[in-house]
Amino acid sequence: MFWAGIIMSIISGVFCFQMAKEKNREPWAWLVLGLVLPLIAVIAISVSSTKKVQREEAGFSCPECGHDVRSEEKYCPNCGVEFDWSENS
């Protein structure tokens, strides 16, 4: 019974690790969580949504007016707001 619990924890940890990688979440944090709380962690990672990437290569929506803007634009062509890429440089 004891070993069955250990094996369950390891399988759960590895499962959470893989799921977290696919969902852009912290794999090592989820691995530990899966080891400590096998069933709860598996359910939590299964229902959690994929983390969205901040800005997509193809383009994005203007935060002011929602107009579709290409990623190389510095100003919104619709409302003229200036974009701040400082976190990316």
Burial 33-42 (b: 16+ CB within 10 A, else e): bbbeebeebb
Measure the CA–CA gap between 87 and 35, rounded to whole angstroms: 35
Nearest to Zn ion of 22, 68 (CB atom)? 68
Q: Which residues in the 38-77 window bind Zn ion by CB under 5 A?
A: 62, 64-65, 67, 76
Q: Which residue do the tokens 């924890």 mark?
A: 9
Nearest to Zn ion of 46, 78 (CB atom)? 78
Closest CB 55 distance from Zn ion, rounded Å: 15
Nearest to Zn ion of 29, 79 (CB atom)? 79
